[in-house]
Amino acid sequence: MEQHIAELLKQNQELILALQRTHGSSQKVTVQFEKFDEENEIFDCFFERFQTYLDVQNIPADTRAKVFISSLSAKLYQLLKNLLAPDLPSDQNLDKLKNVLKQHLTPKPLIIPSRHKFLNRKQNEGESINCYIAELRALAINCDYDSNMLNIMLRDVFVSGLRDKAILDRLFEEDNVDLEKTLQIALAMEKVCKGANGIMGQGIKAVYAGKKQMNKKSNFVSKQKKPLFCSRCTGTDHVKEKCRFIFSKCNFCSKVGHIQRACFAAQKSKTKPVKQKQVSLNGKAENKNEIPVFELNSIDSGLHEQPPIMINLKIENKKCTMELDTGGAVSNINNY
């Protein structure tokens, strides 16, 4: 019995050791590393990925240079070999390989042009706050600012390049806030402005739809209640096709089809405007050879409905009918 128990304990220990080995091997992480693509990635980003890959895979230091060479494309390996000639890439350490390729692929930009580009970066139309500050951070990499000056410059350039006046007004209320606080305020205001614009847009659409519906109703009512009018007699209880004066003769223009009350010619004659001419009495010639021209005022009332007053005169024993000169085209006399 004791021998049987001892065998069971031994089997349990072996099983535990096997499980521990299995568990330990399962903790190993296998990462597929993507090779460097010079068309879609800069060398600095690639090398940062490569260093992370080395740490995750626990690759020994003496073999890291060879792993780096194997991660290069054929084109990039040929370039590296040309840069190191007559030495071979496999004989160099990782730092030497990195520095040679970095100096050739991504030479350090000049500071003044980099700062000029950074300081003149403005927020583009439709660009979000997060995208804008991310672009500013990328441009500031080559400006050679220290950590304190970098945050100050990022804040100032960020504020000066903002497009939204509401966000600017809110930031101007603060006194000397740091970059983090500035970004918090700007992001909060951006959300508020977007929400307000969305609400206002819906409100405008609703008002426009309601107004359009009201216009349709008012047009329908106006069509239903359109007043009648007869152009033959100015009546408002029938149309001209059913007017009883359709064959009547106008007393003013002698035309058939309407009466004098609805005659356009009669209405036009009553409202005919008075024509006036006003000129200067001091005529002067442009030069001595020209004749001075004197202009005279004239008034034409256009009212000839009443016939002139005619009187019979006897001149040299002959009867003559002549027009009486009243001194004006129209005479006003009080009625008694």
Q: Would you state the torsion angle of the CA atoms of residues 177, 181, 186, 192, taken in this order, to the nearest 10 degrees?
A: -120
CA distances from 313 to 109, 306, 324, 325 (A): 116, 22, 11, 14
In a domain, 308, yes or no: no
Digitized pLDDT (tens) for each residue of the chain, 336 residues in all: 556 555 655 655 666 566 556 555 445 555 567 877 777 888 888 888 888 888 888 889 889 899 888 888 888 889 999 999 999 988 999 999 989 988 888 877 889 999 999 999 999 999 999 999 999 999 998 898 998 899 999 999 999 999 999 899 989 988 888 999 999 999 999 988 887 666 655 555 555 555 555 555 555 555 555 678 888 888 888 888 888 888 888 888 888 888 888 888 888 776 555 454 554 545 554 455 555 555 555 555 555 556 777 888 888 888 888 887 776 666 566 664
Structure tokens, 214? 């009201």
Whether residue 136 sits in one domain with residue 186: yes
Query: Whole domain around residue 159: which residue ranges?
Result: 111-198
Residue 205, pLDDT score: 56
Whether residue 192 sits in one domain with residue 132: yes
Distance CA 133, CA 149 (A): 16
Residue 26, pLDDT score: 45
Structure tokens, 162? 């903002």
Q: How many domains does the chain have?
A: 3
Distance CA 176, CA 181 (A): 10
In a domain, 330, yes or no: no
How are beta strands 318-323 and 310-315 bridged, if at all?
antiparallel
Burial tier of 31 (Cβ tally within 10 Å: 0-12, 13-18, 19+) = exposed
Whether residue 247 sits in one domain with residue 185: no
Structure tokens, 163? 């497009």
Distance CA 53, CA 65 (A): 13
Is residue 80 within 8 A of residue 96, CB to CB? The reply is: no
What number of CA atoms fall less than 13 Å from residue 20's CA on the CB side?
6
In a domain, 263, yes or no: yes
In a domain, 188, yes or no: yes
Which of 180, 198, 216 is the last residue in one of the domains?
198
Plot region of 250 (φ>0 → left; ψ -120 to 50 → alpha; else → beta): beta
In a domain, 184, yes or no: yes
Alpha helix ranges (H) inside 124-276:
129-140, 147-160, 165-172, 179-224, 264-270
CA distances from 170 to 136, 161, 174, 301 (A): 21, 15, 7, 70
In a domain, 90, yes or no: yes
Residue 209, pLDDT score: 57
Q: Residue 209 carries which side chain, given as an amino acid letter?
A: A
Q: Is 318 helix (H, G, I), strand (E, B) or coil?
A: strand
Residue 336, pLDDT score: 47
In a domain, 275, yes or no: no
Whether residue 188 sits in one domain with residue 137: yes
Whether residue 157 sits in one domain with residue 125: yes
Which of 198, 219, 241 is the last residue in one of the domains?
198
